[in-house]
Each structure stands twice: as C-alpha cells, then as structure tokens.
Amino acid sequence: MRTLFVDNLTVIDCSLLDSELGLSGASWIVDLTLSGDLNDESMLLDFGVVKKQVKALIDREVDHKLIVPQTSVLCAVQTDNENTVVHFGSNTDEQFSVDAPKSAFCLLPNDSVNIAAIKAYLHARLTDLLPENISTIEIGLRDEQKDNAIWFRYSHGLKKHNGNCQRITHGHRSRLEIHIDGTRDHALEREWVSRLDNIYIATREDLEQSSDRISRFSYAAEHGTFSLSLPEQRVWLVDCDSTIEEIAQTLAEAVAKNIPGKSVKLIAYEGVDKGAIGLVA
C-alpha cells in the first residue's frame, strides 16, 4: 500500500443554504490523499492527472454553485431538463428563492449542508473517476486560517463574466483589512464585518422589484436567465458590478465618509489569497 497526497489542490468558492444562516458564502481549501497499489509506471497516479482531472471534477460538481440541502424540510426543489427552482425558508423565517440553469446548483442528498456531506458527495464521484489501483480516497476541506484575520461571508453574481461567476448565487469566505493613515484598524474591521457577514451584494440595475421587505433580482447572461429573491435586510445594494475590484473601492469610499481627512486603504479578499485594494487619499 502506497500513499500520495496533494495539499491545496484547489479552493471551492460557493454559496450554501443553511437553516440558521440562510444564504451564506463559503471558501474551502481542498486537500487530497490517495492510497493503493502502484501501477505499471511505479506510481499511484500521475500528479498531472490529479491536478487536472480531480480539480476539474471538483470545479464541475461544487465550485461556484449554490449548494442545496435537497432533503431538508425547509427546502423545496423543482427541476426540469434545463432549469431548477429552489425555495428555502430558514429557521428564522427568512425566505429565499433561486431560479437558474441546473448547472448553477449542487443538490446534496442531505438535510443540511456541511463538510461531511460535501466530502461524501465528492468521494462518490471521485471513486467513479479514479483508476482501480486507488483503494482509498481521503478528501480534506478546511477554512483558510490567518493570524489576526477578520472574516466575512458573502454571495453575489456577475452577469458580465464569461465563466461560472455569472451564476447569481455563488460566494466566498473572505478576509477584510482596513488601514487608516497607514495603521490597521481592527475595531473598524469588526464593525464592517458585522454589517457584511452573510450578505448578498447586489447590483442596483439588477433589482427587479422590492416589496414586503423582499428584494427580487434577475438578469440574463451567457449561461441563461437567473433570478433571486431574498429578504431586503440581507442585501447590500451597490451602484456598480459586484466584482471584487468594485467591492473594495466602494467599501473604501464608504469607510472614508465617516473619517474625513484621513487616508483609507481597504483590502478585500475574494476567497483565498486573491482580492483587490480600494484607496481613498
């Protein structure tokens, strides 16, 4: 028996539906360990195959998708050959509804979305993908950990993107740093994270209607037509696209309004180890 491992194989950036959090963003680092017998090349599996084929499967199955606990009593799913409609009510009576192409969803055969359920879901699909000499597959999913980090989780959709970011409910778990006149301000970071955590960042031009404290957004993109409705208190409405570049600058300007005469440098991450910087002199 031999063992092969790949740490930091990829990152899953996604949104999920949770009984307490409602719609929430997540970013999980993926580690992979394979055990079994050597093949004719004296390998378990070529690293190139692991990095390409396994990463491609993970991207296809869960990355940049809305992960749905399909068997939850809080969830109702309708699907046809092209589209899926998901209705979800959290334990706090918040109502969410998403209508999108089937490819925008990962429907878990579970009553909740958690790391164990996602690992089991991916394990079954990797078993079908990998060669017979691989007898054991271990998948690790973990949050990024950084010293002195302040985190928030958000969801969004980018209709102008030419890839999977156009899906209206995908998300991230991200760091936020705020520097005032060159000094990092942890108190200000915590204040803004409390406003932003578990929020949906929406572009104002995509707002179709808002009534009874429910906001509905929709847009057409290359992959199809997308729509989302959710409680208005869960929305941060911006007058720009919700790219990380625009988010960082918009946040920097919002921070600067309350502290005139001071310079602001705001670093907003989009998941793990990538992001943008907003500056106000």
Contact indicator for 94, 230 with CB cutoff of 8 Å: yes
Mean pLDDT of 82-110: 97
Write a three-state SS string for 80-148: CCCEEEEEEECCCCCEEEEEEEHHHEEEECCCCCCHHHHHHHHHHHHHHHCCCCEEEEEEEEECCCCCC
Q: In the chain, what are the domains?
A: 2-142 (3.30.479.10)
Which of 77-86, 157-166, 203-212, 255-264 has the weakest average pLDDT? 203-212
Which of 4-13, 74-83, 164-173, 204-213 has the weakest average pLDDT? 204-213
pLDDT single digits (tens) 188-235:
999 999 999 999 999 999 999 888 899 999 999 999 999 999 999 999
Is residue 68 over pLDDT 90? yes
Confidence grade of residue 78 (pLDDT, cut at 50, 70, 90): very high
pLDDT for res 209: 81
The pair phi, psi for residue 238, each rounded to 5°, is: -125, 155
pTM of the model: 0.95
pLDDT for res 50: 84
In DSSP terms, which residues pair with 178 in a beta bridge?
266
